[in-house]
Structure 1
Amino acid sequence: MKQIIDFLPVVAFFGVWLATGRDIYYATAALMGAAVIQLAVFKLKAWPIPGRVWFVFWAAMIFGTMTLVFRNPLFIQWRPTVVNWILALVIIGSRFVGRGNYVQRALGKVMVLPDRAWRALTYGWAGVFALSGTINIWVAYTFSEDTWVYYKFVSGFVVSFLLVGGSFIYLAATGQLPSLPAKGDLEAPQSQQRDGTPSRDGNP
């Protein structure tokens, strides 16, 4: 559910852009509205709101407002670049200051890795965000507005794939991919419970 909500602003932007005959100002307003809805969903579901969500929300509000007030699409085109570059700096900086490694906080609940792996993933994630921001503004200044909108829509999914897929490939290639519990380990407690014998934790 949260993963779907993450893509709501970019999907709203692209959908309204197509529906209004490629009007980037209506699309920008839709992006801002979707960012508000995204935040409201977190509030209604009583989910903890990560700093990243707040950051993306305020970036949408600030750059979106400047786009609509000054009627200049360059503001909204710069938004993904600024967001990605700042995220790259935050990820790198989290290794040295703050509450600890950003990537480890994001993935540490589902896997345990040595410090060298977290360090490599940190630099890898930061590199992906930095490169994405650079390509975004290059596309904005080099190609047409339509091309940039298509790129913006696709790039969000590509970046997510690179982060997840790249992390998996790196961990698998270096032999650091956490192993899943063996099938027998998962079935043993269930079979014991069906037989009426206590499970491993002592519960019937």
Structure 2
Amino acid sequence: MKFLFDLFPVILFFIAYKFSDIYTATLVVIGATFFQVIYSKLVHKRVDKLLIFNAVLISVLGGTTLWLHDANFIKWKPSILYWLLSCALLFFQFFKRKNLVKNLMGKQIQLTEKTWYQINITSALFFGVLGALNLYVAFNFSESTWVNFKLFGITGLIMCYAIFIGVLASRANRK
């Protein structure tokens, strides 16, 4: 259910784009993201830090897109988010000696430190590549193709990656 909640703004962005244009879709995604923040605060009594960061990022880049009437800013948003996530995973691993993936998932699954390290580094690389791939599609294909990729391509890649991590964790637990 959380997965659908996380996808809610992207789905609305996609629908708004298909019925209107990139600027309407940008306005819709800003509103949907703020709805997520308010809903989380009211229902869960807390707002995830990544959601807050995403809301700020979508407000700044989406707002700039609307203000300057330049879709390039909104196209950069996923890449910046993924690259900052990648950097955070690496920074905390190497400079703070904290594994963020383990901190997020460590209560659900028990793995060796080596496996947590592998998953953390692999996740950092995955998000780094995903950010680059987003820009490649955004600036080498049509706007419509990028919007489709944003919903279906990125979501599909993240789901495949989650399955890969599940298999990696499963194999590590069998050893």
TM-score by length of 1: 0.80
Aligned partners of 1:112 and 1:178 also within 8 Å? no
- Equivalence for 1:17: 17
**Structure 2 runs not aligned, ≥5 long:** none
Distance between the aligned counterparts of 2:97 and 2:104, measured in 1? 12
User: What stretches of structure 1 move > 4 A for 4+ residues in a row?
Assistant: none
Instruction: Tell me, in whole angstroms, the C-alpha distance in 2 between the residues paired with 1:87 and 1:155.
Output: 19
Q: Which amino acid aligns with 1:68?
A: L
- Tell me if the contact between 2:111 and 2:169 (Cα under 8 Å) persists in the aligned partners: no
| Residues 124 and 145 of structure 1: CA distance in aligned 2, closer, same or farther (over 3 Å) | same
1:115 paired residue number: 113
CA contact (8 A) 2:130 2:154 kept: no
Q: Is the 8 A contact 2:17 2:24 kept in 1?
A: yes
The offset of 1:177, in angstroms, is: 3.1
Structure whose residues are more often helix by fraction: 2
Cα drift, residue 161 of structure 1: 0.9
1:161-180 equivalent positions in 2, closer than 5 A: 161-172=159-170, 175-177=171-173
Between structure 1 and structure 2, the one with the greater Rg is 1
User: Secondary structure at 1:110's aligned position in 2?
Assistant: coil
Gaps of 5+ in 1: 180-204
CA-based RMSD of the aligned residues comes to 1.7
Residue 67 (structure 1) aligns with: 65
After superposition, residues 8-157 of structure 1 pair within 5 angstroms as: 8-20=8-20, 23-98=21-96, 100-157=98-155
- Distance of 2:42 and 2:11 partners within structure 1: 21
The amino acid of 2:173's aligned partner reads L
- Compared CA separation, residues 97 and 42, structure 1 to 2 (3 A): farther
Q: Is this contact kept in 1: 2:82–2:128, CA < 8 A?
A: yes
Q: How many residues align?
A: 175
More RCO (CA 8 Å, sep 6+):
2
Asked if the contact 1:12/1:34 (under 8 Å) is kept, the reply is yes
Q: 1:166, CA displacement in angstroms?
A: 1.2
Q: Percent identity?
A: 27
> Shift of residue 99 of structure 1?
8.1
Map Cα deviations across residues 140-174 of structure 1 (whole Å, 9 max, x no partner): 111111111111111332243133211112233xx
The answer on 1:2 being equivalent to 2:2 is yes
